[in-house]
Structure 1
Amino acid sequence: MTDINTAPFDTSALGSTLVDGGCRFGLWAPRAERVELALVADDRSQVNHDMTVDEHGVWTIVVPDISAGQRYGFRVHGPWDPDRGMRFNPAKLLLDPYAKAVTAGVDYHGPIMDHTPESNYEPDPADDATSVPLAVVIEDSEPPKPIARRRDMSESVIYETHVKGYTRQHPLVPEHLRGTYAGLAYPAVIEHLTSIGVTAIELLPIQQFVSEPFVVGRGLSNYWGYNTLGFFAPHAAYCSVGSMGAQVREFKEMVTAFHEAGIEVILDVVYNHTGEGGHEGPTLSFRGIDHESYYRLNNDHRNDYDVTGCGNSVDTSHPEVLALVLDSLRYWVTEMGVDGFRYDLATTLIRDESHGVDQNHPFKQALLDDPVLNKVKHIAEPWDLGPYGYQVGAWGPHWSEWNDRFRDYVRDFWRGAVCGVEELATRLCGSPDLYGQPTSSVNFITAHDGFTMRDLVTYDMKHNQDNGEDNHDGANDNRSWNCGWEGETTDQAIIMLRHRQVRNFVATLLLATGVPMITAGDEMGRTQQGNNNAYCQDSPISWMDWEDAEAWSDVTDLVATLTTLRREHPALRPSIYRHHDPVGPATNARTRVDLAWFSGHGGEMVTDDWHDESRRTLGMYTSDADEAFLIWFHADDHPTEIILPSPRWGQSWQVVASTTLPGELPDEPVPAGLSITLPSRCVVVMGASLANDKG
């Protein structure tokens, strides 16, 4: 399938492909001694066919009279020798790694382990065929309608959301479509996204995933989906009409709907580990095909080398495994129509055969060289849990990265836990201390993992009791401030302060240079009731509460205002770093510059201002040849009087957006050099009337 030279064979032979008169099946199992294709009927009875192997370890067979909807799996025979990374057990029916549709989940009460209850290293002879998901043969179908234009990252506003949770309680989505691909594509949903200026929707994992046994044992499930089992298959449970291939069609129809609205689709993909967990976990696919080839192992070859915290780590130093990842990516672009990827724990994907981090890894080079993959967006979660796993700022010019430094500092700035404003300026202008270009910085304040924005101003402590881990799970360092009361309250002063702080977060996010990412529902006051690790909460804790949206319309309206400003005014979304360089025509004083910082005393910041640890106010001046804006960030809990810059920077200043209440700022333009009062805790955007403006 892949055009890049990673695997030493043509990977198009892998998976299931309908051909004239039947279907071709293929599996790469280089150390197997025998592989059987198991065709499964509706009553779960099986007919097995022996496959033939070539010199590359690719097992194939063409079976006549097979049509779409046929379910199948593989039984892989070979030595049981954990000391050599070999855990072959033909009693286990294994999922095709290239399956494009998967039937369902796992029966965790069934014999799904390849080993006995007494020992992780003794084979279990019990057959698991009725307890495991099956691959489904599908027909080829037309890809989704492509988007008219993929935006540059500098133009992008990313919206991270969950397919099920976003519409599970949506009052305008028909009940039978809620929580599905079709529900997410419903006109009322897309209308909201376009109204708040979203240009790209980033979906939490939709590749077929399973829950971990320990989560199921608590009566919960893996809601987020970071536990992939099928890298080519859209998650069947998100389909409104079935799991026998209909999920492929429905996903494509969803992508088409987004594209017709001008919204790109980005997938959050989990190639760093799989849903099998460590060797003590269930054997559903990869481990039974070849433990040592698919996974990183310790020197003993028995135990998994885990840099993900999830039990196993996919070994992309194997060319054939890297080819699987690349083939999957290409499939999602060419056949399923997606426009980019966010890579969970991306550092794992660039570890070499010795498990070391290699920023020149073949994975990165393949994405750059491939004519399909080099045209879509690539966003790294730039860390994993292994040695030297923290790689923020190291991915290079063809990547964007989640900027956790932005997240942490902005949280601290608005809760008053910083000294001065020096780092604020660095984060606002695109984090040039980390990146070579501002579009590499995906700015975010919240994400699926952690507090929502409303919870960030409502709770000082996590409240994860519903997760069943005695509140021991989830981060303890949340950099949050409850505004004086832990949890919800009827105190109007606290409620107003919380709204104001959320507006300040939103404004900082959307006005900073870089690529903003909004977590779904933050624009509508979504709460998880203080749960900062809701990965296992397929419940109202995680679902969007659309009925609560009206109370937070002030935030929704502000998001729409600021994304409109960002879209209509390139000076607010530069694609290259600015360095106080001249722009526009010279005036009688001096030429304007593209970036400047103001103290509030009428002039630019000086050394003493930058070193003033008590400073809580900063003005960011950003301009191009046609326009200029001055944005004030004021985090103090008291108002402050500021003097606007001289006419060189703008003849007068008009407030065009702010996080304040009506009446707190002047409605009319304010001439240069005059003073205004910034209310406590606010962001104020002022547009300049320039000397060369007409009329």
Structure 2
Amino acid sequence: MDRLKPVLLPGRPWPLGATWDGYGVNFAVFSAHAQAMALCLFDEAGTLETSRLMLPAHTNDVWHGYLIGAAPGLIYGLRAHGLWRPDRGHRFNHHKLLLDPYAREVVGDFQWCDEHFGADRQHPLHMDTHDNAALALKARVVHDSFDWEGDQPPCVPLQDTVLYELHVKGFSRLNSQVPEALRGSYAGLAQPASVAHLQRLGVTSVSLLPVHQALDEERLAGMGLTNYWGYNTLAFFAASPRLACGQDGLTPRDEFRAMVKTLHAQSIEVLLDVVFNHSAESDGTGPTLSFRGLDNASYYRHPPESPAAFENHSGCGNTLDIRQPRVLQLVMDSLRYWVSEMHVDGFRFDLAPVLGRGDHGFEPGGAFFTAVAQDPVLSQVKMIAEPWDIGPGGYQVGAFPRGWLEWNDHFRDVMRGFWLQDDDAARSRGDFALRLCASSDLYQRRNRAPAVSVNYVVSHDGFTLRDLVSYNERHNEANGEDNRDGHGHNLSNNCGIEGETDDPLVGDLRGRLQRALLATTLLAQGTPMLCAGDELGHSQRGNNNPYCQDNEITWMDWDKADGDLIDFTAWVLSLRRQLLPFGNHWYSGLTDTLGLHDLSWLHSSGQALQGEAWNGNSERVLGCLIGQPGRARAPLLLLVNPDAEEHDFMLPAGVWQAVLDTAHPRGLTRWHGQGEAPLLLSAHSLMLLVAAGTTLTF
């Protein structure tokens, strides 16, 4: 292309973004309220603006033009012309270069400075007229041709799915078995040592913390910290370069693709945590980087009575307005891109009620959910909701449409209370049984399958499993907020000593509690989720909100890994895979034609639990006799003892063989015996028994 005489034709209003067709590039960008839109071209360094061309056509709120001779590699940005009327929700400022929301690759290293703000920071009602082009992030035109070599999605059935939530960098950053240059990257996650660990555990699906390109908040940058977790998205189509090592000269998106291809070859799914509830532009005092400058009134939700303000259902200053068709299209296009072009297998949606917020609160039948349900691509992948936001009516656990999975915080809190607390109200056998069996009160009455309940006791957000049994109080001083951030109510138990200790009795108790919580989570009915590092005994030193800690606090410490705990976790998951204690169907408690209950609950005396015994305070030992397991033909017996004392449990008739005892560091046991006789249950333990003669692979 002759850069001195660029030729811009009307082009097409679709697809949005920059699209190369072999002869030139079509540019299309949405703005319902802009009065004109400029395309700005830059030199190869991305610092010098070489041309500024007005997009010549405007169709259905899309500005578009076709640049003859343009090719992949071209660096560009946008300038939107329009009203500067913050009081009406309009914040157009043509002095600010804007990033294309559909950018596949972002150019530049963002540094906070006043030039990035559309408003004068000293006089917020006035437009800032400093040009930020040299400093702004730009988009690069790309045209990919990745060789997938016949890659196919694993398509793991829901009832077999085991989620493993991890941070791409934190997972391999300290793993000496991964080549140093690849550690902490997409390539590092694809290395044989990383894949071998996932296979050893038996997880089926990795759920990655955000990989969309994100920004560090100005406050964090000022303290020398970063937004390590990445929940501050700027570019919903761009793979974060921070998580790439550039192996073999690959771009971040191709390194990501190579990782997916490697994991798929081992039948491991890849799910992404996505953040479509807000953007990195923050509230009305935030920068003008992309959406705000292109069409603030359309991209964000504003109170009808105060268009200058921002609805803040995310807690991050702004809320994307999915009610707007083109904003909904952005979300749908991004999701389809990551499935179709990047081959991911599903998504976990951060603060998902935002996506269902209409004019009158959360709507399970809203436009976004309807669009997903009918979409031939997205309706075939896993969709997982974090079912709460901080807006009015934002707690929506159990209310999402059929086909959606949900993080179940009822399971988290009940299981923590049952195993870790002394408070009678927190240790109800009735609550335990209800959550163990997929929270039927939340999902069965809505005709949703048990597998939609994502069961977890630990996620990235909060204490690690090790810290859950080591700290009563949060220790977030390193975050720079005077220890005010993070959850204050953790239902944790430090076992008598705050923090690390060499006391063998405390260490033994902490081990027992970790194993009991792991086994409960991994064997329960529903879809289990394991947080990476919990199987290693990873500690974050009591920090329960380490979103800004890109260091040894969050990186998995492989050198200090608890080998017994890894073996234990792998054995429990092997038992789940072989036996599937609970099927993906609701139990009634009724008997079949042979007089066998599909599910029954037992007192330690062997008698059926009834009435007040469910909530009695004398003991909390509980037996679950599963007459119709998910895979095994013979009944299974799950026994739990959260008390600090041993208890005898009178076994049902039959010949039983124990296959799991969480009192053992690796869960091993050789116990077998006749029914209608007592079995001694260790304190703080769970046991799984099968009918004698059941064949298992060890």
- TM-score over 0.5 for the alignment? yes
1:13-52 → structure 2 map (5 Å cutoff): 13-43=15-45, 44-46=47-49, 47-52=51-56
Separation in structure 1 between the aligned mates of residue 619 and residue 365 of structure 2, nearest angstrom:
42
Quote the offset at 1:546 in angstroms: 0.6
In the TM superposition, residue 565 of structure 1 has moved relative to its aligned partner by: 1.1
Structure 2 partner of 1:516: 528
The farther-off stretch of 495-504 and 49-58 is 49-58
Q: Secondary structure at the match of 2:39?
A: strand
- The letter of the residue matching 1:477 is H
TM-score (norm 2): 0.93
Where do 1:177-576 residues align within 5 Å? Answer: 177-241=182-246, 246-298=251-303, 299-352=305-358, 354=359, 356-416=361-421, 417=423, 418-436=426-444, 437-549=449-561, 552-570=562-580, 572-576=581-585
- The answer for the alignment partner of 1:82 in structure 2 is 86
Measure how far apart 1:680 and its partner are: 0.7
Which amino acid in 2 is paired with 1:37? L
**Residues in 2 aligned to 1:530 and 1:146: alpha-carbon distance in whole angstroms:** 41
In the TM superposition, what whole-angstrom CA distance separates every residue of 1:246-294 from its partner, at most 9, and x where no partner exists? 1111111111011001110110000000011112011110000000100
TM-fit CA distance, 1:69: 2.1
How far the C-alpha of 1:668 sits from its partner, in A, is: 4.0
Aligned to 2:673: 670
CA distance in 2, matches of 1:279, 1:608: 55
- Matching residue within 633, 638, 641 for 2:640: 633
Instruction: Give the superposition deviation at 1:645.
Output: 0.8
Deviations 1:88-111 (A, max 9, x none): 111111111011111244210351
Q: Aligned partners of 2:667 and 2:178: how far apart in 1?
A: 39
Counterpart secondary structure, 1:534:
coil
AA of the residue aligned to 1:576: H
- Partner amino acid, structure 1, of 2:137: P
Separation of aligned partners in 2, 1:536 and 1:671: 55
Mapped to 2, the partners of 1:192 and 1:29 lie a distance apart of 47
1:122 is the counterpart of 2:112: no
One-letter amino acid matched to 1:30: A
- In structure 2, the partner of 1:596 is 600
* Distance of aligned partners of 1:50 and 1:542 in 2 relative to their CA distance in 1, 3 Å threshold: same
SS at match of 1:592: coil
What is the SS of the residue equivalent to 1:434?
helix
Which position in structure 2 is the counterpart of 1:91?
Answer: 95
Shift of 1:558: 1.4
**Could you state the TM-score of these two structures normalised by the residue count of structure 1?**
0.93
Contact 1:143 1:336 in 2 (8 A): no
Gaps of 5+ in 1: 1-8
**Structure 2 CA distance for partners of 1:351 and 1:245, relative to 1, 3 Å:** farther
Q: Deviation string for 1:289-334 (max 9, x for gaps)?
A: 0001000012221111111100000000001110110111111111
Tell me, which stretches of 5 or more residues in structure 2 are unaligned?
A: 1-10
For residue 608 of structure 1, report the CA deviation from its aligned partner: 3.5
Q: What letter matches 2:641 in structure 1?
A: H
2:3 maps to none
Residues 175-233 of structure 1 show CA distances to partners (whole Å, capped at 9, x for unaligned) of 11111111111111011001101100000000111111111111101000000111111
Q: 1:182 to 1:540 in 2, by over 3 A?
A: same
Q: 1:387-431 CA distances to partner (integer Å, 9 max, x unpaired)?
A: 000000001321110000110111111113324311000001110
Please report the RMSD computed on the Cα atoms of aligned residues, expressed in angstroms. Answer: 2.1
2:687 corresponds, among 660, 666, 684, to: 684
In structure 1, give the amino acid aligned to 2:300. Y
Secondary structure in 1 matching 2:440: coil
Q: How many residues align?
A: 672
State the shift of 1:146 in Å: 3.9
- Alpha-carbon distance in 2 for matches of 1:666, 1:198: 23
CA distance in 2, matches of 1:139, 1:242: 20
- Amino acid paired to 2:505: A
C-alpha contact (below 8 Å) 1:665/1:678 kept by paired residues = no
Q: Identity over aligned residues, as a percent?
A: 41
Q: Is the 2:146–2:254 contact (alpha carbons within 8 Å) kept by the matching residues of 1?
A: no
* Matching residue's letter, 1:85: G
| Aligned residue number for residue 643 of structure 1 | 650
**Separation of aligned partners in 1, 2:399 and 2:101:** 31
SS at match of 1:173: coil
Q: 1:19 and 1:482 mapped to 2: Cα distance? A: 61
Asked if 1:660 corresponds to 2:663, the answer is: yes
Partner of 1:61: 65
1:530 and 1:11 map into 2 onto residues whose CA distance is: 52
In structure 2, the partner of 1:3 is none
Deviation of residue 513 (structure 1)? 0.4
